[in-house]
Amino acid sequence: MTARTGSVVRRNTVLLAGALACLSGMVQLVVAVSTITLVLVTGIESILGLAPAIFLAAAAAAALPAGRAMDRWGRVPVLAAGCCAGIAGCTLAAAGCRWDSALLVGAGFALVGVSSGTVLLARAAAADLYPPERRARGISYVLFGALFGAALGPLVFRPLLAGKELSLDALALPYLAAAGLMVVALALVLLVRPDPKRLAQEWWGDGIDEAPAVELRGIVARRGVLAAVVAAVTSFAVMVSVMNLTGYVVVGHGHHQRDVFTVISAHIVGMYALVLVIGGLIDRLGRRPALVGGLAIAALSTGGLAWIESVPWTSLALFGLGLGWNVSYVAAAAELSDSAAPNERGKLLGLTDLLSGAAGAGLALVGGVVYTGLGVAALALAIAALALVPAVWMSARTLLQSPLGARWVRRFSV
């Protein structure tokens, strides 16, 4: 890597990380108050899971088209469009709060989801910037920017709600502040140059744009891809469904709405604080152990919510959930990026995000029903079990493919 190449990589990495920090701040607000907002605007408590479901379904629907567009037109134009969707979505949500309109609030949540599903594909741009042997670390550098978004809840949104009665009028201003964050994200994305996709083609030689891209079915059939997709989908669905329902659970335990930001901030710190260390470890130790280990940590942390109620312990559990997601998510992103050329990478990650968002939306919607009908313990234990299933599956596959496992199979098949 030449001095000029290193300078361009560092600058673009910082800019992409800054954009994800702004996205993280916006998403933190929506996670913390979307369930409360929808219940206030409709007066129907039983649909509390609908708000995160709208957000997650929109993110899922946007991911694959955005990934395909990235492969065709480059990373920067698509990321910029995602930032614009976030600005519009937060503005509509604020307008819905101001005029007590469920339609505007729902449309706002949908556009915020589109923004999240699009801008999270910045990890494709991050993968473009680094060679395969440093790819997990490079992805972690960009994701590290989201850690700073964890501070935006207490610093920006909490003061806007402090001392105020929880009402739609009080929620309008934080949504406008979140729109302002996405204006900053847009400015940062537009400063990224040259486009990371072009850099990947020119510098690393890990794909040639003129070569025909393989269809998704063929890419998924490549070695290691299916396991990475399963781990990514499961870890994201578990993490995001629990995260989006946490606001209502914390308030249901008798805590103030402002305490939700403390819990969500701890969760986001868990998602990103150790990402620089984890990325390097994944590059050295391998993808499969990280996929399994991350899911196991997420399951343990989620299951703990069945017995805890205090803000500090809930914050610790959400920190662990974020950490488990971090490990499996970075490993999956690196594995998927290694398995695809630059003109395939966007759609493969987009497909993964589509499946992840759809699973997360469904789990959040069903989770809301489970919580209102059976309580937090049933919700926590059920989601923990879902996280363990693919971890056990991948561990069993790894064992059976090992020399010891092969001998065991031959012995008992006789």
CATH of the domain at 234: 1.20.1250.20
How many C-beta atoms lie closer than 10 Å to residue 300's C-beta? Answer: 16
Give how far the C-alpha of residue 267 lies from the chain's centroid of Cα atoms, to the nearest Å.
12
Asked whether residue 412 is domain-assigned, the answer is: no
The structure tokens 């708000």 sit at: 51
The CA-atom distances, in angstroms, between 238 and each of 2, 256, 396 are 41, 25, 21
Asked whether residue 207 is domain-assigned, the answer is: no
What pLDDT does 320 receive? Answer: 92
Asked whether residue 255 is domain-assigned, the answer is: yes
What pLDDT does 207 receive? Answer: 47
* 302 has a pLDDT exceeding 80: yes
Q: How many domains does the chain have?
A: 1
Task: Name the residue with higher pLDDT: 31 or 81.
Answer: 81
Query: Residue 44 and residue 66: Cα distance in Å, rounded?
Result: 34
Asked whether residue 413 is domain-assigned, the answer is: no
DSSP-assigned states of every residue in 369-399: HHHHHH-HHHHHHHHHHHHHHHHHHHHHHHH
What pLDDT does 115 receive? Answer: 96
Of 314, 263, 282, which is closest to residue 158 (Cα–Cα)? 263
Q: Give the confidence band of 400 by pLDDT, cuts at 50, 70, 90.
A: low
What pLDDT does 414 receive? Answer: 47
Asked whether residue 411 is domain-assigned, the answer is: no
Structural domain harbouring 153: 6-197+218-397
* 251 has a pLDDT exceeding 80: no
Q: Amino acid letter at 9?
A: V
- According to the per-residue pLDDT averaged within each range, which of 157-171, 226-240, 297-311, 387-401 is highest? 226-240
Asked whether residue 75 is domain-assigned, the answer is: yes
What pLDDT does 364 receive? Answer: 78
Q: Give the confidence band of 234 by pLDDT, cuts at 50, 70, 90.
A: very high
The structure tokens 């662990």 sit at: 320
- According to the per-residue pLDDT averaged within each range, which of 55-64, 292-301, 349-358 is highest? 292-301
Asked whether residue 286 is domain-assigned, the answer is: yes
What pLDDT does 103 receive? Answer: 92
pLDDT digit string, tens, across residues 185-223: 999 999 998 899 888 777 655 444 445 667 788 888 888
Percent with pLDDT over 90 in the chain: 32
pLDDT digit string, tens, across residues 101-111: 989 999 999 99
How many C-beta atoms lie closer than 10 Å to residue 159's C-beta? Answer: 12
Q: Whole-model pTM above 0.85? A: no
Asked whether residue 205 is domain-assigned, the answer is: no
User: DSSP label at 151?
Assistant: T
User: DSSP label at 310?
Assistant: S
Q: What angle do CA 382, 385, 387 make, to 5 degrees?
A: 115
Task: Name the residue with higher pLDDT: 300 or 309.
Answer: 300
